[in-house]
Amino acid sequence: MLTITASAQTTTVVAEPIADLNHNQLTADDTVRAIHNLFKSRRSGGIILTGSAIAGNLLAAYAATESQDENSFLAFSFGNHALMFGTIAAPLAAVGIRKIISYRGGRERRVIHDFRTTRKLPYKIQRRLTPAFFAQPAGKAKSG
């Protein structure tokens, strides 16, 4: 008996960030895509921060109001819950809400429109456009 085993090779192409980003070779469409990637990434980060702060706060509120054994690790008073909310959850939620507002869709459209007409970007947006936003397809950029 003769047995033959065959295997297929697959090639994986990984999109690497552009190491030497030459701004003179980028087109306006590349920049618009990078702006979109930046705004989408920051909005997603804001939603995650706000959601996790709210979920953590609700879990802590549940643990604070649930009657538990006094020796339990999760048993803490309403005052401790308020302190935890004020020092951890509220600032995280505030940062998340600020990101959502700062990088909202309307502002993204306005920045793109202004860029297409004047070829200039606001300083804060220009500073945040790292090579990773140019190298990735829309929606795949990682925020830094």
The SS3 call for residue 38 is: helix
- Better pLDDT: 70 or 93: 93
Q: What is the pTM of this model?
A: 0.67
Q: What percent of the chain has pLDDT over 90?
A: 42
pLDDT for position 26: 58
Instruction: Work out the widest C-alpha separation in the chain, in whole angstroms.
Output: 78
Residue 131 confidence (pLDDT) above 60: yes
pLDDT digits (tens, 9 = 90+) for 82-128: 777 778 888 999 999 999 999 999 999 999 999 999 989 999 999 99
CA pair distance 66, 113, nearest whole angstrom: 52
